[in-house]
Amino acid sequence: MSSYLILFLTAGIVFFSIHKIHKKILKKFENVRTYLLIMITVFLVACLIVFPNNTIDAALNGLITWSNVVLPSLLPFLIGAEILIGLGVVDFIGVLLSPVMYPLFGTSGEGSFVFAMSVTSGYPVGASLVSRLRQQNLISRVEAQRLISFCSTSGPLFIIGAVSVGMFKNPSIGALLASSHYLGAITVGLLFKNYGRTKAISSTNNKQINSNNNYIKKALSELINTRKKDGRSISKLMGDSIKSALEAMVMVGGFIMIYSVIIEILKITGIIKFFTYFLNILIPVNLDAKLIEGLISGLLEMTNGCKLLSEASNASIISQLCSVSFLIGWSGLSIHSQAISMLSNTDINPKLYILSKSLHAIFSSVYCFVLYKIFFKNKVVMSFLSENYNISENIVGNWFNSLKFSISLEFVILMTIIAISLFVGALYNLKSIISR
């Protein structure tokens, strides 16, 4: 017991010391970081020249993934969200759901719209919406920081279709991975509720939360005021929305191609295998090399890492699932680059975003372990599908079917959120009448 106490005290002293001198350290090693970045860039460019066939194939694969899967799946959500923000629908939902969202997550009702869109569409829609709301000053900096902590999630189509069915060939684990992932996000949101708690999220939101007036009438008034304030015609609004969404999608496609090439370079140069071997030496527990390789690759790019983890046949199923849950919660540096690029035009702290994703990864893996032991151990039977089930062929079909599916899903989610908002508003109106 005393040794643990000494360990904790030592760790506390080290953390306090680093906290005090970290600015000096960063200034001192600023040039070193610059030189290191230059060396890495030169190395990557040299690999492009030495291995042109491999890197071109990797870039092409990334481009195909973006054009066939990501573009038709995310574009309708981004365009629709931009239009809804301009029309004032998000403010309408925000007023009605403020009494629910603020006690839980310390955010206004707009957060419910962002969370729902993030859950249904996946990365990086949540970050894009939070960025847009902050740029238009619809939410405060504190509230934006709280929102981004739990509104950056993967979509069920990827978790259930691509990972559970497409990679593991086992549909029974889809519910386990999805529930652990979204429970992890909600837990992080509850933790970040206290971030900046001394600061008011905004005077408008405080009025919405503390008011006992007619919520539906207030929401309609907010919708009209936002629409008047925006002032753009419908055609102008649609044009701006399409332009903004396409710019975001081009940026996402660029990051997907870049990280596809980087991962291929790390593979062909043996760097990933080196780190796998190195970790096997450091860690006393005998871990499957494929499992470690999948985790290392997944830290950079989530999809590739999940695929490698599903192929770690020598590892136990629980270690595979917890590792996959960790990677989906973490989302990978590729997704982080996309999200941080979107947040760069705001005053949101990207370091706190990275911290929230780290916590999301840890909580998701813990939830996965607990839920597996309690509820899913007997249900998760490795009955592999006999056919090579492919998510793009069996669930969303071809490009146009994927686009159609995304538009339909967005419409259903929007109608559901509005219905819930009106129901909550009616309940609070009834409560206000009874209290009088």
Please give the pLDDT value at position 366: 93
With tokens 């090693």, the residue in question is 29
Cα–Cα distance measured from residue 58 to residue 263, given in angstroms and rounded to the nearest whole number: 9
Q: 15 is written with which tokens? A: 């953390």
Question: What is the crossing angle of helices 317-330 and 350-371, to 10°?
Answer: 160
User: How many CB atoms are closer than 10 A to CB 41?
Assistant: 10
pLDDT at 18: 47
The CA distance from 420 to 92, in Å, is 12
Tokens representing 329 are 């919660």
- What pLDDT is attached to residue 388? 46
Q: How far apart are CA 143 and CA 138, in angstroms?
A: 10
Given this model, what pLDDT does residue 257 score? 86
Q: How far is CA 297 from CA 10, 277, 334, 395, in A?
A: 33, 14, 11, 26
pLDDT at residue 11 in the model: 43
pLDDT tens for the 436 residues of the chain, in order? 444 334 334 444 444 454 454 555 555 556 666 777 788 888 888 888 888 888 888 888 888 878 877 788 778 878 887 888 888 887 788 777 777 788 888 887 777 888 888 887 778 888 888 998 888 888 888 888 999 999 889 888 788 777 887 778 777 788 889 899 999 999 999 998 888 765 444 444 444 444 445 767 777 887 888 788 877 888 888 888 888 888 888 888 888 888 888 888 888 888 877 877 777 776 655 667 778 888 888 888 888 788 888 887 777 888 888 999 999 999 888 889 889 988 888 888 898 999 999 999 999 999 999 998 888 766 665 444 444 444 444 444 466 776 776 777 667 777 887 787 778 777 777 776 676 6
Listed in sequence order, the DSSP H helices in 231-288 are 234-268, 271-282
Of 148, 157, 146, nearest in space to 196 by CA:
146
End-to-end Cα distance, the chain: 58
**What is the pLDDT at residue 357?**
94
Dist. CA 62–CA 162, nearest whole Å: 16
124 preceded by cis ω (within 30°)?
yes
pLDDT at 25: 53
- Amino acid, res. 393: E
d(CA 342, CA 128): 6
State if pTM tops 0.75.
yes
- Give exposure, 376-404, as e/b (b: 16+ Cβ within 10 Å): beeebeeeeeeeebebbeebbeeeeebbe
pLDDT of residue 354: 92
| Three-class DSSP category at 350 | helix
d(CA 308, CA 300): 13
Structure tokens of 11? 């760790």
Residue 283: the pLDDT is 64
